């Protein structure tokens, strides 16, 4: 009996490989990040994110319709306001870019799950995720507790505008509990919270900060974002968020933290999302442009790895690209 070659027998043809594939990708598992800027008639290309744009609330509708037609599961919106201040007050302006886009997409794209990122970094003039204060030692730092009610106010604003899910990313301690209380008090008990629970202080956020204009003016975010070296802490953070009322949790960035995804998926009883961030997307494009790798195959492999690690859904700038590849059957042949 020839046992040596048995594993290879099921790999001989594309049809056999497709039949025996253990993990599959589906467009409904993808969430597309979209940048929404103040103004009208805008579709601004992003140099550091090839194929991505800043949209105004009116033009993003066509992109929403395209993604919906491809079967993409949802979108998550990030705002770029006309004005910034020390508190990030534009973040809860009902006439701001994100609420306007949510309202428009709610009507035009009923089959898209609409998510709204809840953070202050895009709205503050200093680029940090909360308001700043001077510590007893004279250092400038984020005031965690003073930031919580502002995040809750922002989440309520987005939920009222049409967000199906609010997604706090500021990494403030207690942010999920504060937002849950704020939503409940506003009569929005049915609005789910997707918590950015395990978000590391990563080098892979550069293109996003360029696109959103959210690079900190001074200092960095290592004091409130996680150390990439701490997988056990990542699990603790996720469990704390679930205890505070999170309906789903997220790992960010996805690629460098596949072990976090697996560990958290095994520890919690809620869906686990993973964010393939801007630097991951831009790196693949840059390498492909130089002929160092095949963009199609590399995209497929990275998304497959994230799903295989245990992610229920993936936030990725490749959402539309991947959905097209799946619909055409192109990835059945990789």
Per-residue pLDDT of 100-150, as tens digits, reads 999 999 999 999 999 999 999 999 988 788 888 766 666 668 889 999 999
| Per-residue confidence band for 219, with pLDDT thresholds at 50, 70 and 90 | low
Q: What is the pLDDT of residue 73?
A: 98
Query: Residue 118 region, left (φ>0) first, then alpha (ψ -120 to 50), else beta?
Result: beta
| Per-residue confidence band for 167, with pLDDT thresholds at 50, 70 and 90 | very high
Q: Would you say residue 293 has pLDDT above 90?
A: yes
Q: What is the pLDDT of residue 1?
A: 56
Per-residue pLDDT of 181-203, as tens digits, reads 999 999 999 999 999 999 999 99
Q: What is the pLDDT of residue 327?
A: 94
For 126, the token pair is 């200093």
Q: Domain map of the chain by residue range?
A: 25-333
Distance CA 105, CA 252 (A): 26
pLDDT (mean) for 168-176: 94
The alpha carbon of residue 232 and the mean position of all alpha carbons in its chain are separated, in whole angstroms, by 22
| Per-residue confidence band for 332, with pLDDT thresholds at 50, 70 and 90 | confident
pLDDT (mean) for 175-181: 98
Report which of 28, 10, 103 is spatially closest to residue 69, judged by C-alpha positions: 28
**Strand 43-45 to strand 53-55: parallel, antiparallel, or no bridges (unpaired)?**
antiparallel
Q: What is the pLDDT of residue 224?
A: 78
For 18, the token pair is 């497709």
For 328, the token pair is 């055409």
Q: What is the pLDDT of residue 2?
A: 60
- The fold for domain 25-333 equals TIM Barrel (3.20.20)
Active site residue 199: yes
The whole-chain average pLDDT of the chain stands at: 93
Residue-wise burial string across 294-309, b where 16 or more C-beta atoms lie within 10 A, e elsewhere = eeeebbbebbbbbbeb
pLDDT (mean) for 149-174: 96
Q: What is the pLDDT of residue 149?
A: 95
Q: What is the pLDDT of residue 136?
A: 65
Q: Would you say residue 257 has pLDDT above 60?
A: yes
Give the lowest-confidence range in 1-5, 6-10, 45-49: 1-5
Percent of the chain clearing pLDDT 90 (strictly above):
77
pLDDT (mean) for 37-66: 97
Active site residue 252: yes
44: which strand partners? 54
137 against 32, higher pLDDT? 32
For 190, the token pair is 């049915």
Cβ contacts of 172 within 8 Å, gap of 6 or more? 129, 130, 142, 144, 147, 148, 151, 224
- Of 69, 84, 106, 199, the catalytic one is 199
């Amino acid at each position: 009996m020839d046992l040596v070659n048995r594993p290879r027998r099921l790999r001989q043809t594309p049809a056999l490989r497709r039949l025996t594939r253990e993990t599959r990708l589906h467009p409904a598992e993808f969430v597309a990040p979209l940048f929404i800027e103040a103004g009208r008639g805008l579709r601004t290309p992003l140099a550091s994110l090839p194929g991505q744009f800043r949209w105004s609330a009116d033009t993003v509708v066509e992109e929403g319709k395209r993604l919906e037609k491809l079967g993409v599961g949802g979108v998550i919106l990030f705002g770029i306001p006309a004005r910034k201040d020390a508190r990030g007050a534009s973040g809860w302006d009902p006439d701001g870019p994100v609420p306007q886009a949510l309202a428009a997409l709610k009507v035009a794209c009923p089959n898209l799950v609409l998510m709204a990122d809840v953070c202050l970094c895009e709205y503050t003039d200093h680029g940090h995720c909360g308001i700043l204060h001077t510590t007893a030692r004279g250092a400038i730092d984020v005031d965690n507790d003073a930031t919580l009610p502002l995040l809750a106010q922002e989440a309520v604003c987005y939920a009222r505008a049409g967000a199906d899910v609010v997604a706090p990313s500021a990494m403030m301690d207690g942010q999920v509990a504060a937002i849950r209380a704020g939503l409940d008090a506003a009569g929005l008990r049915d609005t789910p919270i997707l918590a950015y629970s395990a978000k590391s202080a990563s080098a892979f956020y550069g293109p996003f900060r360029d696109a959103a204009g959210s690079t900190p003016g001074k200092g960095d975010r290592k004091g409130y974002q996680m150390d990439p070296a701490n997988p056990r802490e990542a699990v603790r953070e996720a469990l704390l968020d679930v205890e505070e009322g999170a309906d789903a949790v997220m790992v960010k960035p996805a690629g460098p933290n596949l072990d976090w995804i697996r560990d958290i998926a095994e520890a919690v009883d809620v869906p686990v999302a993973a964010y393939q961030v801007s630097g991951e997307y831009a790196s693949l494009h840059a390498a492909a442009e130089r002929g160092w790798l095949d963009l199609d195959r590399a995209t497929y492999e990275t998304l497959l790895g994230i799903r295989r690690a245990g992610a229920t859904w993936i936030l990725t700038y490749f959402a539309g690209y991947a959905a097209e590849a799946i619909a055409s059957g192109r990835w059945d042949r990789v």
